[in-house]
């Protein structure tokens, strides 16, 4: 009998691969990422272990044509029951120091790909009144520190977008479920790609295995939870920070940003000889 299908972006490592491993026993899969060899490895692992049918879509989701191709594919499959918009990356440095192209790519991946794939999936799921979408955001959607401007703002967009879809589905009395998954530090290839050593980013108690993040997400899906923040420390912290008056919140974020700036070895790249405008005394 044909099984239901789950589509996962960024399935070649970390949280995306953990979603795939968790769901491969009960679902067929569409795995999406740039590294085909990694996806092929997972597909053979799942086929041997569970007889899973896995479709591999090699795609760079910062490219319009690739986003459109993937959207068309998932929009057309009547067995689609879950889309996980998970592909993502971070950048390192202050906004003006990080090349604009990297930040534009991040906006395309976190925002345009999520927007277009969610649109395609909902047009497929809503008429059937069945299915779910998980958008992998971050605790950075609630806590912003220097060095994460584009990352935090695109992840904040993801949570706001998911909340908006939640309200529209509710107003349409739809059974389709959406979730904004907001992990904190998670063991994956994310920080390796970023070129940051995990040890410099705080206590090991703050780090969670990708499998635990996925377990929390799927448990939350069963309870139709809109926001899932895995780990009690992060739940406590995000709840606390969101309730602070903005002046206090900014102070706290600036203080944690000072430490982070040192860890990320941020430098303001202004030549010593550059003429600076006079200080703003308004």
Ligand X SMILES: NC(=O)c1ccc[n+]([C@@H]2O[C@H](COP(=O)([O-])OP(=O)(O)OC[C@H]3O[C@@H](n4cnc5c(N)ncnc54)[C@H](OP(=O)(O)O)[C@@H]3O)[C@@H](O)[C@H]2O)c1
The residues of the shown chain that bind ligand X, judged by CB under 6 A, are 9-16, 33-35, 38, 59-62, 86-89, 109, 136, 138, 183, 185-186, 188-190, 193
User: Minimum CB separation from ligand X for residue 270, in Å?
Assistant: 30
User: Minimum CB separation from ligand X for residue 140, in Å?
Assistant: 7
Q: What string of DSSP letters covers 96-146?
A: TTS-HHHHHHHHIIIIIIHHHHHHHHHHHHGGGT--EEEEE--GGGT---T
Length of the chain: 282
User: Minimum CB separation from ligand X for residue 82, in Å?
Assistant: 16
User: Which residue, 176 or 213, is less far from ligand X as judged by CB?
Assistant: 213
Candidates 54, 22, 53; CA nearest to 36 is 54
User: Which residue, 10 or 93, is less far from ligand X as judged by CB?
Assistant: 10
CA angle 246, 251, 256 (to 5 degrees): 125
Across-strand partners of 85? 135
CA angle 189, 261, 143 (to 5 degrees): 70
User: Which residue, 126 or 206, is less far from ligand X as judged by CB?
Assistant: 206
User: Minimum CB separation from ligand X for residue 152, in Å?
Assistant: 11
User: Minimum CB separation from ligand X for residue 110, in Å?
Assistant: 7
Across-strand partners of 57? 32
Contact 62, 108 (CB under 8 A): yes
User: Which residue, 61 or 125, is less far from ligand X as judged by CB?
Assistant: 61
d(CA 226, CA 179): 5
Q: What are the distances in angstroms from CA 205 to CA 26, 146, 197?
A: 32, 23, 16
d(CA 110, CA 154): 6
User: Which residue, 15 or 174, is less far from ligand X as judged by CB?
Assistant: 15
User: Which residue, 34 or 50, is less far from ligand X as judged by CB?
Assistant: 34
User: Minimum CB separation from ligand X for residue 130, in Å?
Assistant: 25
């Amino acid at each position: 009998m044909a099984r239901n299908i789950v589509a996962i972006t960024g399935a070649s490592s970390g949280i995306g691969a953990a979603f795939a491993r968790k769901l491969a026993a009960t679902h067929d899969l569409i795995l999406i990422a740039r590294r085909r060899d990694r996806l092929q490895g997972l597909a053979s692992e799942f086929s041997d272990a569970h007889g899973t049918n896995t479709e591999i879509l090699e795609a760079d989701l910062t490219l319009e044509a690739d986003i459109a191709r993937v959207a068309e594919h998932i929009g057309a499959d009547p067995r689609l029951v879950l889309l996980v918009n998970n592909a993502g990356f971070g950048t390192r440095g202050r906004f003006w120091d990080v090349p604009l192209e990297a930040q534009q790519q991040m906006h395309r991946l976190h925002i345009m790909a999520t927007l277009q794939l969610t649109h395609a999936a909902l047009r497929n799921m809503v008429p059937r009144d069945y299915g779910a979408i998980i958008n992998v955001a971050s605790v950075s959607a609630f806590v912003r520190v220097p060095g994460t401007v584009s990352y935090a703002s695109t992840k904040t967009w993801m949570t706001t977008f998911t909340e908006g879809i939640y309200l529209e589905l509710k107003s349409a009395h739809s059974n389709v479920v959406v979730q904004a998954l907001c992990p904190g530090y998670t063991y994956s290839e994310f920080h390796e790609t970023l070129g940051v050593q995990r040890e410099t980013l705080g206590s090991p108690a703050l780090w969670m295995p990708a499998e635990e993040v996925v377990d929390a997400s799927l448990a939350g899906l069963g309870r139709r939870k809109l926001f899932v923040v895995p780990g009690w420390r992060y739940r406590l912290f995000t709840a606390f920070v969101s309730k602070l008056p903005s002046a206090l919140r900014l102070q706290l974020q600036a203080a944690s940003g000072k430490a982070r700036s040192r860890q990320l070895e941020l430098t303001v790249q202004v030549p010593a000889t550059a003429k600076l405008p006079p200080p703003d005394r308004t």
